[in-house]
Structure 1
Amino acid sequence: MGRTSKIVTGGLLVCALVAISIPVGKEVVPGLFPQDQSSTVTTPAAQLPPAALSQVASVSELSPDAPLPDAAALSDQLKEALKYDGAGTVSVYVSDVLTGEELFSADGWTARTPASNQKLLTAGAALATLGPQTRFTTRAVTGSQPNQIVLQAGGDVMLGRDDSKPNEIMGHAGIATLAKKTAESLAGAPGPYTLAIDDTMFTGSTLNPYWPTEDVAAGEIAPIYPMALFGARYVAGELTGPRPHDAPVEVAEAFAVALERAGVETIGIITRSKTPEGATELGSVQSATVDEQTQYMMQWSDNYVAEVLGRMVARKLGEPVTNEGAVYAVRKSVRNLGLPMDTIWTVDNSGLSVSNRVSPAQLVQYLNILLKNPASSAGQELKGLPIAGLTGSLSDRYIEPPSWEAAGVVRAKTGTLNLVTALSGYVVNSDGRLLSFAMIGNGLTDGPAPLRTVFDNAATVLAKS
């Protein structure tokens, strides 16, 4: 990145952070700024940097009288931007959110592998079914054997080793805090204690048969359990690299160390044991909210968190808490939000499988449902969409010309597999019109990077339209 782009990105970050921090209903349109002096006169209010918090525009404030883009001119511009001479198939769909009118379609109704754009559906299902303010509880309870402590999983896979961090999402609930609470409950009771794990909340196979074995080996996903440290990573903030194959054991080992530091001696090997009826709670810690977890999942495209949230949806709906039950539950929840699922094929909730199929037009339909009601529970997922050039999986994109003209303006979910790239989201164009879009490329034998640049340029066309 050149010095100029660093300055531009830094200026945008200030605006974006203000926009992200505002209340629900004011978060759908990020703060923006004019690209040069000549554009200042015509830049709409929705694309100006906020001078104060109260002046940040929201979708509800967008004027229905803002003109629609000229469909013919937009089509010509998009076709030019979407020129791609590499191998593979490309499907694109663009809609006006207010009217639902199709503005552009290039094979837009053809079902494609969406990669992590699948997480759009998972996030909405989790928020609508579980509730944005729901938290998952990890407990230490008395076991069925004398002097036994059972570490009971509750769906929090973002546990930290240290004390709880109330201002963080990852590590919001800390194992050291749980150990201290447990030690306080056991004060005066003779030890030592044995330690067991109850991770029976999830059932069935811990790996989805539709996931490529090479992706599992590469650490794109790990065996799914209802309890893990750092999203089933060894270190907080890691996005690649090896993962633990038995996440609950990692948690239990960290808990044993923390108990020793808190003055509680543990002996023997860690076993698995179902929590007995009438067990006494010794301590508990609670996760970040579902709202916060979905935002993290969307920002960083976390496969593990997506799959766990899907299973928690299944549990809430009384479905089997398995791979299949989670997929069924998310589909049911999304259908209840208003998106027909008859021609959408899903086999997981993270988008890691190449067997998933959804068309760009259907993703746009879904986005329009959220954008028309951003204050709904499901609509909270809009806050988690990465901002071009600023946050999450878009932080290193839109930082070079010509796409940097849309930095801070485009908000979209990315998707990447070896032969797939996808981008779905929304933008307020230069006339103040809210547009939604989805772009999917499959069969990219040259890799996803060249088409990713094409998609960014196409989204920039929408921002300038």
Structure 2
Amino acid sequence: MGRTSKALTGGLLICALAAVSVPVGLQVVPAFLPQDPAAVAVLPAAQAAPTSLGEISGVGPLDSTAPLPDADKLSAGLDKALMFDGEGTFSMYVADALTGEELFSQDGQAARTPASNLKLLTAGAALRTLGTDARFSTEAVAGSSPNEIVLVAGGDSLLTAGAGADDSAMGHAGLATLAGQTAKSLAGAGAKGPVTLTIDDSLFTGPALNPKWADGDVDAGEIAPIYPMALYAGRFAPEVLTGPRPQDSAVAVAEAFAQALEDAGVATTGAITRGKAPAAGGDAAGGADASQTGAAQSGTAKSGSVQPGAVLGSVESATVAEQTQYMLSESDNYVAEVLGRMVAVKMGKAASNSGAVAAVRQVAGELGMPMDSIVTTDNSGLAAGNLISPQQLVKMLSLMLADPAADIGQALPGLPVAGLTGSLEHRFVTAPALDGAGLVRAKTGSLNLVTSLSGYVVNSEGRLLVFSILGNGLTGGAIAARPVLDAAAGVLALS
């Protein structure tokens, strides 16, 4: 692995520690709180366990003169941690973030199945191509037929049926908000209902399901058919994380929008159909210009009607940076696949499964990833056939860490913190992995026979270490092997 081209600045340590500076409430630190209510009741207030994470102040830059871990001690500790009684193999690669120097490798150059660690490539491609501040619009457009409203999908997979919430990635844009805007526009134009609904989801092409996804994973709700708009990342409700999902997320959005219109006083009628939204002025097009929002009230429409193509309402998603961070923190397959397709749209490629994979691969290569030896068949890591080495995942993370303030560096706040947040919330809570709690920040991954963990940690000497561990062939299942990964990461924290 080559040396990085620049030294890390103070922002790097801030990035490495920022996740533990945001108050997150009691539920995220169960391992650190007393379990006996009676014991809590008699504790003086000054000795009570914290109910939120403390603020960081006075954080300075990493010390470039901090010593590297002792090679023999590190190898001995990691060799022991990576011992496993069950069937399967573990490959691991560790490097110093500042210099790129290899510190440990156990088959670190060998291509393995990464599971959701593949999302690191998707995150980098989305941030670089789409831009950190980009947002996706969902619009209600006047159709070509009288009283027709076309719901135009723009790539937001995190819609909510209710009002939008500005402080949340999930549900930043709300269909109740969109319905309220639409009702106001219709009333301003003197349009009389009831209205019919048409879906324009032509932004994506090709099969909605990747043929590389196992039927069992689809049936279990690990993924769902991919559409350019969805409620709750393709779920029936945000809290329902397993089991069946909507098989047509665009229809699910349209049905929720129809109910929101009814609640806003706009009657709907007829079946929901698919079609193309007309351009402003009435010509058929793939969508409408968001700058036309409110055109129904601009005086260009005849009394009692709305000009075809006029945007009646528009809501915007969370930023791409916020969506990417959500995707990494929650390891959300649906969001990853939608972001991959949006990269393809931006690059002028077909927004299909294959087009999205090709687009992400191209951007990852342009970022400096050696793609010739990397095999990808989807953008979430769920599909069969994905292959990448721990060393290559360390390379991706090192590119992000080289400048945390840059576009791809905005992925880093989405990496879960050991024992505290996201998909690591309930891990690193017992010895020996407890040594890494609150210190290790990493992307998780799990398939039936695969478990993975790739991230970084500032060790006991103040040195920033980047690592990737991929466990494959785990016939006893991924969950049984997770303690091996966590213990190895804990060794790095103490090194």
* Same fold by TM-score greater than 0.5: yes
Deviation for aligned residue 1:28: 2.3
In structure 1, C-alpha distance between the alignment counterparts of 2:16 and 2:486, rounded to whole Å? 20
Q: Tell me the alpha carbon deviations over residues 366-397 of structure 1, each in whole angstroms, 9 at most, x when there is no partner.
A: 11111111111001101100000000000000
- Secondary structure of 1:26's counterpart equals helix
Q: In the alignment, which residue of structure 2 is the partner of 1:16?
A: none
One of 282, 292, 296 as aligned partner of 2:322: 292
Deviation for aligned residue 1:54: 3.5
Closer, same or farther in 2 for the Cα pair 1:24/1:456, shift >3 Å?
A: closer
One of 388, 391, 399 as aligned partner of 2:429: 399
Closer, same or farther in 2 for the Cα pair 1:157/1:87, shift >3 Å?
A: same
One of 225, 228, 235 as aligned partner of 1:226: 228
Q: In the alignment, which residue of structure 2 is the partner of 1:87?
A: 87
Deviation for aligned residue 1:296: 0.7
Closer, same or farther in 2 for the Cα pair 1:351/1:51, shift >3 Å?
A: closer
One of 47, 50, 56 as aligned partner of 2:59: 56
Deviation for aligned residue 1:117: 0.1
Kept after mapping to 2: 8 A contact 1:138/1:154: yes
What is the alpha-carbon root mean square deviation over aligned residues? 1.9
Q: In the alignment, which residue of structure 1 is the partner of 2:294?
A: none
1:456 aligns with 2:491: no
Q: Which residues of 2 match residues 70-81 of structure 1 at below 5 A?
A: 70-81=70-81
1:429 aligns with 2:463: no
In structure 2, C-alpha distance between the alignment counterparts of 1:231 and 1:87, rounded to whole Å? 35
Deviation for aligned residue 1:73: 1.5
Alignment identity in percent? 60
Deviation for aligned residue 1:337: 1.2
Kept after mapping to 2: 8 A contact 1:196/1:272: yes
Q: Tell me the alpha carbon deviations over residues 135-157 of structure 1, each in whole angstroms, 9 at most, x when there is no partner.
A: 10000001121110000000001
- Secondary structure of 1:186's counterpart equals helix
In structure 2, C-alpha distance between the alignment counterparts of 1:261 and 1:99, rounded to whole Å? 59
Give TM-score, length-normalised by structure 1.
0.89
1:262 aligns with 2:250: no
- Secondary structure of 2:373's counterpart equals coil
Deviation for aligned residue 1:25: 7.4
Q: In the alignment, which residue of structure 1 is the partner of 2:204?
A: 202
In structure 2, C-alpha distance between the alignment counterparts of 1:253 and 1:185, rounded to whole Å? 20
Q: Which residues of 2 match residues 71-220 of structure 1 at below 5 A?
A: 71-187=71-187, 188-220=190-222
In structure 1, C-alpha distance between the alignment counterparts of 2:121 and 2:235, rounded to whole Å? 24
Q: For structure 1, which segment, 302-311 or 189-198, has the greater mean C-alpha deviation from structure 2 after superposition?
A: 189-198
Q: In the alignment, which residue of structure 1 is the partner of 2:397?
A: 367
Closer, same or farther in 2 for the Cα pair 1:448/1:320, shift >3 Å?
A: same
Deviation for aligned residue 1:238: 2.5
In structure 2, C-alpha distance between the alignment counterparts of 1:32 and 1:108, rounded to whole Å? 30
In structure 2, C-alpha distance between the alignment counterparts of 1:201 and 1:380, rounded to whole Å? 26
In structure 2, C-alpha distance between the alignment counterparts of 1:97 and 1:290, rounded to whole Å? 26
- Secondary structure of 2:483's counterpart equals helix
Q: For structure 1, which segment, 414-423 or 88-97, has the greater mean C-alpha deviation from structure 2 after superposition?
A: 88-97
1:28 aligns with 2:28: no
In structure 2, C-alpha distance between the alignment counterparts of 1:404 and 1:327, rounded to whole Å? 37
Q: In the alignment, which residue of structure 2 is the partner of 1:69?
A: 69
- Secondary structure of 2:372's counterpart equals coil
Deviation for aligned residue 1:119: 0.4
Q: In the alignment, which residue of structure 1 is the partner of 2:293?
A: none
Closer, same or farther in 2 for the Cα pair 1:274/1:23, shift >3 Å?
A: farther
- Secondary structure of 1:55's counterpart equals coil
- Secondary structure of 1:424's counterpart equals strand
Deviation for aligned residue 1:24: 8.8
Closer, same or farther in 2 for the Cα pair 1:129/1:144, shift >3 Å?
A: same
Closer, same or farther in 2 for the Cα pair 1:432/1:319, shift >3 Å?
A: same
Q: In the alignment, which residue of structure 1 is the partner of 2:336?
A: 306
In structure 2, C-alpha distance between the alignment counterparts of 1:179 and 1:168, rounded to whole Å? 20
Q: In the alignment, which residue of structure 2 is the partner of 1:45?
A: none
Closer, same or farther in 2 for the Cα pair 1:160/1:25, shift >3 Å?
A: farther
Closer, same or farther in 2 for the Cα pair 1:32/1:319, shift >3 Å?
A: closer
One of 346, 358, 362 as aligned partner of 1:328: 358
- Secondary structure of 1:440's counterpart equals strand
Q: Tell me the alpha carbon deviations over residues 52-94 of structure 1, each in whole angstroms, 9 at most, x when there is no partner.
A: 544234xxx1111000111122111110111112111211111
Q: In the alignment, which residue of structure 2 is the partner of 1:342?
A: 372
Deviation for aligned residue 1:51: 7.5
In structure 1, C-alpha distance between the alignment counterparts of 2:67 and 2:53, rounded to whole Å? 23
Q: Which amino acid aligns with 1:104?
A: F
Deviation for aligned residue 1:50: 9.7
Give TM-score, length-normalised by structure 2.
0.84
In structure 1, C-alpha distance between the alignment counterparts of 2:18 and 2:269, rounded to whole Å? 53
- Secondary structure of 1:78's counterpart equals helix
Closer, same or farther in 2 for the Cα pair 1:251/1:78, shift >3 Å?
A: same
In structure 2, C-alpha distance between the alignment counterparts of 1:147 and 1:360, rounded to whole Å? 56
User: Unmatched 5+ residue regions in structure 1?
Assistant: 1-21, 34-48
Q: In the alignment, which residue of structure 2 is the partner of 1:442?
A: 472
Kept after mapping to 2: 8 A contact 1:119/1:306: yes
One of 349, 369, 388 as aligned partner of 2:418: 388
- Secondary structure of 2:271's counterpart equals coil
In structure 2, C-alpha distance between the alignment counterparts of 1:385 and 1:25, rounded to whole Å? 14
Q: Tell me the alpha carbon deviations over residues 388-416 of structure 1, each in whole angstroms, 9 at most, x when there is no partner.
A: 00000000001111211211000000000
In structure 1, C-alpha distance between the alignment counterparts of 2:332 and 2:473, rounded to whole Å? 23
